[in-house]
Chain A
Amino acid sequence: MQSKPIALTILDIVSVILLGIAAYLALFFAPTEAVMGDVQRVFYFHIGTAWVGLVGFVVAAGTGIAYLATKDMKWDRFEVAAVEVSTMFFFITIVLGSIWARPAWNTWWTWDPRLTTAAVTELIYVAYFMLRQGIEDPDKRARFGAVYALLGGLSAPITFMVIRLFRTIHPVVIGNASAEAQGGFDMTADMRTAFFFALFAFTIIFIDMMWHRIRLGGLQEKVEQLKLNVAM
């Protein structure tokens, strides 16, 4: 049985501390936004989780290419980990966005280009797991998964860019917003501190969770192999 590396234990502890600090900065350190009030504070975790979610989907596409080029199963484990952790974080992004939208836009949901592409992206990756569940042969599963992750990865840059290319009510934090945007605000120095710290904290937490999920994938492979040995 493989024991847990000391570096992973350290990363676990660091992740918990960073999450605590990020929550403190978002909830207490950053000033209250004058128009929206406290609900604006979900913005820090909304962007932090969106960042790791979208980056993870791009990473999954990259590892999909690496698997197709090398046929090395380690890239498949990497890809599954990236998709699973990113899907979880991106789910949080969508829920936080919806919660913010209720007081800011007076609705939980609207079929705005950003919200629509975000929902489609999330559903693409939920379907990724359904696809993998339906394939028994590990090599075929990895190959199909890699192609799917590669094509699905296109949804991440589309989701990121859509508010910069189309008329949308979703505010833009970095860059120019559409004239239709509602709920945008100028960040103060303290808000920027909380914002960038949340990005950093979620990046480390994402790496930590990925590492755990990759190890789990290795264990799953070992169990599958042993099941075949026992069955023969």
Chain B
Amino acid sequence: METIPDTSGYMIAGYVITFITMGLYVLSIYLRNKNLHRDLETLEELDPKKSSK
């Protein structure tokens, strides 16, 4: 009877890379969102249209 080859190391590497890549992308969206909100707050304080109201 033929034995099934042990290729579990490749499988683990594949799933680890998948989750890390997706995690990094979600983190990048979160960080960009946070930075843009901070920029928005600062710019709204400086905006002459809003300041004059």
Indicate whether A157 reaches chain B with its CB closer than 8 angstroms: no
Interface size classification for chain A: 35 or more
Q: Which residues of chain A have C-beta atoms less than 8 A from B40's C-beta?
A: 1, 219, 222-223, 226
Q: Does A110 contact B (CB under 8 A)?
A: no
Closest to A103 in B: B7
How far apart are A171's CB and chain B's nearest CB, in angstroms? 16
A96 within 8 A of B: yes
Q: Would you list the 9 A-B pairs with minimal beta carbon distance, nearest first? A: A39-B7, A42-B14, A226-B43, A37-B7, A38-B8, A39-B10, A38-B11, A37-B5, A99-B14
User: Which of under 10, 10 to 19, 20 to 34, or 35 or more describes the interface residues of B?
Assistant: 20 to 34
Binds B, one of A68-76, A138-146, A188-196, A208-216: A208-216
**Interface of A, helix, strand, loop or mixed by DSSP:** helix
A-side contacts of B10, CB under 8 Å? 38-39, 42, 99-100, 102-103
A residues within 8 A CB of B36? 216, 219-220, 223
**Taking the nearest CB of chain B, how far is it from the CB of A28, in angstroms?**
12
Scan residues 6-53 of chain B and give those whose CB is less than 8 A from a CB of chain A. Answer: 6-8, 10-11, 13-15, 17-18, 21-22, 25-26, 29, 32-33, 36-37, 39-40, 43-44, 46-49
> Which of these, A95, A216, A222, contacts B14 with CB under 8 Å?
A95
What residue of chain A has the Cβ atom nearest to residue B4's Cβ? A37
Determine the chain A residues whose CB is within 8 A of the CB of B39 once the complex forms: 223
Q: Are A45 and B32 in contact (CB under 8 A)?
A: no
| Residues of B contacting A42 in the complex (Cβ-Cβ under 8 angstroms) | 10-11, 14-15
A159 CA to B11 CA in the complex, in Å? 24
Q: Does A21 contact B (CB under 8 A)?
A: no
**Residues of B with C-beta under 8 A to A37:** 4-8
Is the CB–CB distance between A99 and B25 below 8 Å? no
**Contact partners of A232 in chain B: CB under 8 A:** 48
| Separation of A220 and B15 alpha carbons in the complex (Å) | 32
Q: Are B5 and A1 neighbours in the complex by a CB distance under 8 Å?
A: no
Nearest B residue (CB) for A227: B43
A220 closest partner in B (C-beta)? B36
Within the complex, the shortest CB–CB distance from A117 to chain B, in Å, comes to 21
Q: How far is the CA of A91 from the CA of B14 in the complex (A)?
A: 12
Distance to closest chain A CB from B46 (angstroms)? 5
Within 8 Å by CB of A212, from B2, B21, B22, B29, lies B29
| A45: B residues at CB distance < 8 A | 14-15, 18
Q: Which residues of B contact A85 (CB under 8 A)?
A: 25
Contact in complex: A96, B47 (CB < 8 Å): no
Alpha-carbon distance A219/B7, docked complex (angstroms)? 45
- Assess whether B25 is in contact with A209, with CB atoms less than 8 Å apart: yes
